[in-house]
Amino acid sequence: MTGTVTHGPPPGPADRPGRPLIITEDADLLDDLLRLCAAAGATPEVRHDVPDSGGGWAAAPLVLVGDDAARRLSGAARRPGVVLVGRDQDDPDVWKRAVLIGADHVLMLPDGEAWLVDRLADVAEGIGRPALTVGVIGGRGGAGASTLACALAVTSAREGLRTLLVDADPLGGGLDVLLGGESAEGLRWPAFAASRGRVGGGALEESLPELHSLRVLSWDRGDCVAVPPPAVRAVLAAARRRGGTVVVDLPRRLDDGVAEALAQLDLVLLVVPAELRAVAAAGRVASAVGMVVRDLRVAVRGPYAPGLDDHEVARLLGLPLAGQLPVEPVLLRPQASAKAPGATGRGPLARFCAHFWERVLVESGGTR
């Protein structure tokens, strides 16, 4: 069981660096808390007495107070990020003791173990602001969505942001190939197919191929063409916790795994060639994606059919316009270029990507 005392939200762990602090004289409870810290990869500081004002009480990103110590801490300075931990599910006075020490949460073991391991893992990873996560999907086949996804990721990395490019389309041929890194060492999607629960963000990042100063999660050349939704959820949640930007290349077929990916995206770009059949096809895609994603925008790709321009395409689809994609050979025939899309930092496509990141990072509150 966990519960929240709503007197104030705790800060993000990145705002209060340091080790978690455990305060208890209950040997059995301490053993359990140390076990959970080990499972989360966190190394705690342990105290049995009331900490002085200059000790770990103020600096710790998370404070776990045993129910046995609550009354002794009634005079401690108030601070966010305090969790009162006990075992008696039927104790009606535990909430009074939580208020007494200014706790944000009341947690009962063993029911609250999974929640606590997640919080401790956040501390161990030094979680700050979550990544800005952008999906790219084609309004029809051959729209250039994969090329745009690669160019956005390459541009983000060139701007100095921690960047992960995720290939969510098992039938797309592999974004590592598009980036010229099909033989690069590192794990691919099939290695994460059995993932459940929490995946470590740092471990994920270090295990993936590094191409053009970004990390890439793509597919191998094997027979695996799907990853279970829980694995998709675990991997993308880990990617978001690392901060920076995450770009996801989405397939046009929407299964349960893709729905999991969509649920974790901040916004999606729908790439639509400016022709009537493409607009009609994109309308179907937009209807399906819009049921999951709150922020769906259209990027219109030329050349334009008679009577169409970028604003008219956006109007027909009823979507906000993200911008006009330039007519550039790499969008139509990615293999025509020996370089990764956007790698030179020059040309219309690179400028589109730079302007896109500049705009959405400001909208999201600044650099990640």
* Cis peptide upstream of residue 303 (ω within 30 degrees of 0): yes
The predicted structure's pLDDT at residue 11 = 41
Distance from first CA to last CA of the chain, Å, rounded? 34
Sign of CA dihedral 52, 12, 242, 169: positive
Question: How open is the CA angle 99-104-105, to the nearest 5 degrees?
Answer: 95
Report the distance separating Cα 193 and Cα 164, nearest Å. 18
pLDDT band at 329 (very low <50, low <70, confident <90, very high): low
Q: CB within 8 A of 130, min separation 6: which ones?
A: 240, 241, 243
pTM for the full predicted model = 0.74
Residue 203 confidence (pLDDT) above 60: yes
Strand partners, 165: 216, 247
Asked if pLDDT for residue 200 goes beyond 90, the answer is no
pLDDT of residue 336: 47
Is the model's pLDDT at 361 over the cut of 50? yes
Phi, psi dihedral angles at 306 (to 5 degrees): -55, 135
Give the model confidence (pLDDT) of 232-281 as tens digits. Answer: 998 998 899 888 999 999 999 888 999 999 999 999 999 999 999 999 99
> Alpha-carbon distance 100 to 183, whole Å?
59
Residue whose structure tokens are 């800060």: 11
Residue 139's pLDDT is what?
96
Give the pair of three-digit tokens for residue 36. Answer: 């959970």
d(CA 277, CA 280): 5
Going edge to edge, which strands form the sheet with 21-23?
2-4, 105-108, 82-86, 63-66, 21-23, 45-47
Q: What is the mean pLDDT of residues 129-140?
A: 94
Asked if the model's pLDDT at residue 8 lies above 60, the reply is: no
Angstrom distance (rounded) from CA 28 to CA 67: 12
Could you tell me if 206 and 286 are in contact, meaning their C-beta atoms sit under 8 angstroms apart? Answer: no
- Answer yes or no: is pLDDT of 12 > 50: no
Share of the chain above pLDDT 70, in %: 90
Give the model's pLDDT for residue 332: 55
159 pLDDT higher than 70: yes
Average confidence score pLDDT of the chain? 87
Predicted pLDDT of residue 341? 84
Q: Any idea of the CA torsion for 346, 352, 358, 360, to the nearest 10 degrees?
A: -150
User: Above 70 in pLDDT, residue 364?
Assistant: yes
Q: Strands 245-249 and 163-167: what pairing? A: parallel
pLDDT of residue 333: 56
Is the model more confident about 44 or about 364? 44
Q: What is the pLDDT of residue 182?
A: 87
* pLDDT for residue 14 is more than 50: no
**DSSP tally for the chain: helices H, then strands E:** 13, 14
The per-residue pLDDT for 65 is 96
Q: Which residue has the tokens 């499972």?
A: 39
The percent of residues in the chain predicted with pLDDT above 90, rounded, is 58
Tens of pLDDT, residues 167-177? 999 888 889 98
Read off the pLDDT of each residue in 38-43 and give the average, rounded to a whole number: 86
Residue 119 or residue 11, greater confidence: 119
Please tell me which residue, 93 or 49, carries the higher pLDDT value.
Answer: 93
What pLDDT shows up at residue 331? Answer: 56
pLDDT at 117: 87
In this predicted model, what pLDDT tens digit does every residue of 293-319 receive, in sequence order?
Answer: 989 999 999 888 998 999 999 999 999
Separation in Å, CA 69 to CA 2, 18, 60, 338: 18, 22, 17, 65
